[in-house]
Amino acid sequence: MNKAVRKAVIAGNWKMNKTRPEAKALLEELKPMVADVKDVEVVACVPFTNLETALAATAGSNIKIGAENCHFEKSGAFTGEISADMLAEMGVEYVVLGHSERRQYFNETDETVNKRTKAALAAGLKPIVCVGELLWERECNITEEVIARQIKLDFYDVSAEDLKKCIIAYEPVWAIGTGKTATADQAEEVCAFIRATLAKLYGADVAEAITIQYGGSMNAGNAAELVSKTNVDGGLIGGASLKAADFTTIIKAAVNG
Ligand code: PGA
């Protein structure tokens, strides 16, 4: 395993939080705190309504901006939806796809995650594709089956070249917003399994180059141990990304990880 070939990525997932003035204030506070960070990619994935504000606030800085979803069609009669092209045209770089909250509350399936991933790639966005098992799936000892299925379906028909533009976020559903973090060993075990699954599908060199994040109650206190693991290349951070000091601590942990 060679962590040196991969850049750690710490991405905040703001979810449905922050008005525009609040978004600007948070990013303005964060900017100087992370200005000297070079070896870790810092990303803020924000609600659609905050994208323009966030792009303006972070212009010329080392903070990249992402959206939290996109639709899979290019345009048309899809009321309330946002296309990948619309995001790319704004200067958005990343997009979170297949988050468990989208799967749970908005009926997203691996099939639509796959379509969205391909649409995002076609528009030049970098997808952060989320996978993870439910608590009862872990208890039934089928975590690896669930994860392998999600990886195979979510990346169906995605070329090796395109896969290299993707980030995979391992987010055990039972750990999201619950305060229950997977132990560093649990996170490492599944992230290593994801890499092994990618190696079978795409070859070892491609698998070694993919950034695999952990997400689920990652915070200023537990980040260092999680990102020290060989196959954990950063994190997708919900709650703790809403506080500049906590998010910065996580980013600095990844610099040292
Ligand atoms: P959390 O959320 O850090 O608040 O658990 C993580 C996520 O949903 O990406």
Q: Give the pLDDT of the chain (257 residues) as one tens digit per residue.
A: 457 789 899 999 999 999 999 999 999 999 999 999 999 999 999 999 999 999 999 999 999 999 999 999 999 999 999 999 999 999 999 999 999 999 999 999 999 999 999 999 999 999 999 999 999 999 999 999 999 999 999 999 999 999 999 999 999 999 998 888 889 999 999 999 999 999 999 999 999 999 999 999 999 999 999 999 999 999 999 999 999 999 999 999 999 88
Tell me the C-alpha distance between 141 and 153, whole Å.
20
Contacts of 163 (CB under 8 A, 6+ apart): 155, 198, 202, 206, 210
- Among the listed residues 68, 101, 108, 171, the single catalytic one is 171
Is 188 a known active-site residue?
Answer: no
Q: What angle do CA 19, 216, 87 make, to 5 degrees?
A: 45
Q: Could you tell which of 46, 176, 178, 226 is best to mutate to test the pocket of ligand 1, judged by most ligand atoms within 8 Å of the CB?
A: 176
Rg value, the chain, Cα: 17
Tell me the C-alpha distance between 230 and 2, whole Å.
8
The pLDDT of residue 2 is 57
The pLDDT of residue 228 is 96
The pLDDT of residue 7 is 87
Of 166, 150, 132, whose CA–CA distance to 9 is shortest? 166
Q: List Cβ<8 Å contacts ≥24 apart for 70-78.
A: 70/95, 70/97, 70/116, 70/119, 70/120, 70/123, 70/125, 71/116, 71/119, 72/112, 72/115, 72/116, 72/118, 72/119, 73/119, 74/119
Is 99 a known active-site residue?
Answer: yes
Q: Which residues line ligand 1 (CB under 6 A)?
A: 13, 171, 176-177, 215-218, 236-240
Alpha carbon nearest to ligand 1 atom 3, residue:
238
Is 0.75 surpassed by the pTM of this model?
yes
CATH fold group of domain 8-256? TIM Barrel (3.20.20)
Dist. CA 77 → ligand 1 center (Å): 32
Tell me the C-alpha distance between 11 and 40, whole Å.
10
